[in-house]
Amino acid sequence: MSGRRQDGRLSDRAIALAISLVLRVGVALAAALVAVGGIAYLVQNGRRETHYSHFASAQSLTTPAAIVRGALALDPAAIIALGLVVLVLTPVARVVLALLAFAEQRDRLYVAFSLIVLTVLFIGLTGHAL
């Protein structure tokens, strides 16, 4: 029991429960950041007129460094963006966790698949082909 197989390695059930926890924590944290940043944003900008077909603010918050810097300076839009980054990274964390678990199980084939998925995610997130 206790999430171990007969050979002492992690069971698939244990992996599923760990991933489930990561997903819930990630979504909750992201939603909290977005909500807090959102309220602050509305307090600051609520009465400003908006051109809602285009959003210039998005153009300045496109790198993790800029977003973290802005969030530390308590810029509401950057706090929202940080929540969105946490949200985007939640599935990535899930793949990393699965990768580690498959490695612990000595399941080489699925370690390889997880690595490929991570590589593709990396390319998508950074725009670099490694």
CB within 8 Å of 84: residues ≥ 6 apart: 30, 34
Burial (CB count <10 Å: 0-12, 13-18, 19+), residue 36 = middle
Separation of alpha carbons 10 and 17, rounded Å: 11
Per CB under 8 A, does 58 bind other proteins?
yes
Length of the chain: 130
Q: CA 35, CA 121: separation in Å to the nearest integer?
A: 26
**Closest distance between other proteins and the C-beta of residue 95, in Å?**
6
Q: Which of residues 5-24 bind other proteins (CB under 8 A)?
A: 12-13, 15-17, 19-21, 23-24
Contacts with other proteins in 74-93 (CB under 8 A)? 77-78, 80-81, 84-85, 87-92
Token duo for residue 1: 């029991």
Interface residue with other proteins, options 14, 68, 100, 110 (CB under 8 A): 110
Residues that bind other proteins (CB under 8 A): 12-13, 15-17, 19-21, 23-24, 26-27, 30-31, 34-35, 37-38, 41-42, 45-50, 52-55, 57-59, 61-63, 77-78, 80-81, 84-85, 87-92, 94-95, 98, 110, 113-114, 116-117, 120-121, 123-127
